[in-house]
Amino acid sequence: MTQKTVARRAMLKSALAGAAVAGLAAPRLASAQATVTWRMQALWDGGTTPQKFEEQFVARVAELTGGRFKINLFAAGQIVPAAQAFDAVRGGAFEMMKTFDGYEAGKIPAFAFTCTIPFGFAEADEYEAWFYEKGGLEMARQAYAPAGLHYIAPTVYGQEPLHSKVPIRKIADLAGKKGRFVGLASSVMGAFGVAVTPLPTGEVYSALDKGVIDMADRGDLTANFEAGLAEVAKFIIVPGFHQPTTATAYVANRAAHDRLPAEFKAALVMAAREVSGALRQRILVNDASVLAKYQAKGCEIIRFSAADVAAARPKAIEAWRAATKGDALASKILDSQIAFMKELGLLA
């Protein structure tokens, strides 16, 4: 056998080996480039300001993944009624929802503390810092995991005002009124004598209009104006002591999330955090001007005394503790939040 023949055979063997490696690599490359399509149902009606930010969220996810991760967005109730979204995503009917954890707090006590803290964190940045700097994100994920769901990230913004058909000028005026509240606000407002009715967001307008309830929280000032609440509740109470800061949540079916490549998972978290800050800034700007629109519709703006709110805080804290229902994770979350509020000087 000549040296030339040996060399030729070596080259052929090398080429075949290279082809085999390329053959093994090709499916992986194709998989990496594959497009994933999800469906997501949001909390908000189409055309409203919060829903426009959900449109930004899905667009940003697509941008961060080079168009390979597409999320088809639906408004509240478009796939299933809002109250059924949790079970629908859990069962895999669609992959993702935007939700308010308080809706399920009756079943999972930890959720009472990952959506709002009545009389608690005064600023949205404080609450968001708890999620990202004090372990809140990991604890929220622990709360969702047993349900077969994955908590991606929160959208954190400021107060939700109280809309009322009757004047509420001090904490004592709450007693004997009928109100729509969900999550921890249900427990706290109940402690102040309110007859609480938990209703989906989409039913608030009708309930106020028909007199089923006297007052309600629903969303931020602009979202509520867009939903027509100025027509059915002529008193706006600020600051929203019952919900001084708010966190809605991006939540996915855990099995679907587990199947995502790491870069797609990262894109969800990154887009969520960007949208959180962007929405918060938009609300801050809008709040400064929308109150005048309420007044033009004949609404009275009632501003609560800070001293009255502070005097009611000890009673609220008792309701926080009761809302844990002795659940270990809920208690751990509350202890973490109270410790942080003390660091911030919000609690003695």
Q: What is the pLDDT of residues 196-205, one digit of tens each?
A: 998 888 899 9
- So where are the chain's domains? 35-157+247-285, 162-244+297-344
Please list, in sequence order, all residues whose beta carbon lies within 8 angstroms of the beta carbon of residue 186, skipping any fewer than 6 positions away: 102, 105, 196, 198
d(CA 138, CA 131): 8
The CA dihedral of 89, 91, 94, 98, to the nearest 10 degrees, is: 0
Closest CA to 162 of 316, 308, 299, 317: 299
Instruction: Report the pLDDT averaged over residues 7-36.
Output: 45
Residue 219 has pLDDT above 80, yes or no: yes
Residue 333 has pLDDT above 90, yes or no: yes
Predicted local distance difference test score (pLDDT) of residue 287: 87
Tokens 């009917």 sit at which residue?
93
Closest CA to 72 of 42, 112, 99, 48: 42
Band (pLDDT 50/70/90 cuts) for residue 330 is: very high
Tell me whether domains 35-157+247-285 and 162-244+297-344 share a fold. Answer: yes
Predicted local distance difference test score (pLDDT) of residue 28: 40
Q: What is the pLDDT of residues 236-265, one digit of tens each?
A: 999 999 999 999 999 999 999 999 999 999
Residue 294, CA distances (Å) to 52, 159, 314 in order: 22, 16, 32
Superfamily designation of domain 162-244+297-344? Bacterial extracellular solute-binding protein, family 7 (3.40.190.170)
Predicted local distance difference test score (pLDDT) of residue 145: 98
Pick the CATH number of 35-157+247-285 from 3.90.1150.10, 3.30.200.20, 3.40.190.170, 3.40.50.300: 3.40.190.170
Band (pLDDT 50/70/90 cuts) for residue 34 is: confident
Q: What is the pTM of this model?
A: 0.84
Cross-sheet strand order for the sheet of 96-99? 69-74, 36-41, 96-99, 246-253, 149-157
Residue 7 has pLDDT above 90, yes or no: no
Predicted local distance difference test score (pLDDT) of residue 348: 83
Report the percent of the chain where pLDDT is more than 90.
80
Tell me what the pLDDT averaged over the chain comes to.
Answer: 90
Closest CA to 200 of 104, 130, 118, 342: 104
Residue 213, CA distances (Å) to 98, 129, 345 in order: 26, 34, 36
Band (pLDDT 50/70/90 cuts) for residue 10 is: very low
**CB burial class (10 A; 0-12, 13-18, 19+) of residue 243?**
buried
Predicted local distance difference test score (pLDDT) of residue 33: 63
